[in-house]
Amino acid sequence: MNILRVVLNNLIRKPLTLRFPKRVPLPEKFRGLVQIDTDKCIGCSICAYVCVDGSIKVTDRGDGYEWAYDPGFCTFCERCVHFCPVSALTMEAKPAPAYIQRNELQQIHHMTYPVCPECGQPAHAVSDVLLSQAFSKVTDEFREWVHLCDRCRRRRYQKMIKDSYKARS
């Protein structure tokens, strides 16, 4: 008898569908497409690591990196935004537009690494925020070291070991 009551109520009640220009209001903390601020991004690929569905991929390209996002795979869980150490990712507060072709909404950004102050070669970027999260005390000398490329960092370290060895002899 319960099903008959539901059917009768549906026949009597007005339609619940909103006509075209009107829309259902979005919830306060609606999570839409992921957006990246390329000026803040350091290419650490933590967002790709925590992405449960693989919609974010960060690929090293030698002198830079490629950040790719495909919303067709995204579950809009917001983990990438939450774990980004430099707050380079945000989520739009509106739903994604309708699309026909696969990968139509895909975003691909090509970004270059900053250059090493000593040799001019590409060096992986490290932000002060990430340093302060990883280490309790960060000296100016250490800050200078992290902006060097791997090769120059190794050279400095070898020179430091060599100098300390000479001082002991």
Provide the mean pLDDT of the chain: 88
| Joined tokens for residue 142 | 């250490």
What is the per-residue burial (b if ≥16 Cβ within 10 Å, else e) of 89-119? bebeeeeeeeeeeeeebeeeeebebeebebe
Across 31-115, the runs of DSSP E, i.e. the strands, are 34-36, 56-60, 64-69, 89-91, 107-112
Render pLDDT for 23-64 as a digit per residue (tens, 0 to 9).
888 888 889 999 999 999 988 899 999 999 999 999 998 889
Instruction: Provide the whole-model pTM.
Output: 0.73
Q: In the chain, what are the domains? A: 28-168 (3.30.70.20)
Average pLDDT value for residue range 74-79: 94
- Choose the weakest-confidence range: 12-26, 40-54, 106-120: 12-26
Q: Are strands 34-36 and 89-91 parallel, antiparallel or unpaired?
A: antiparallel
C-beta atoms surrounding 131 within 10 Å: 14
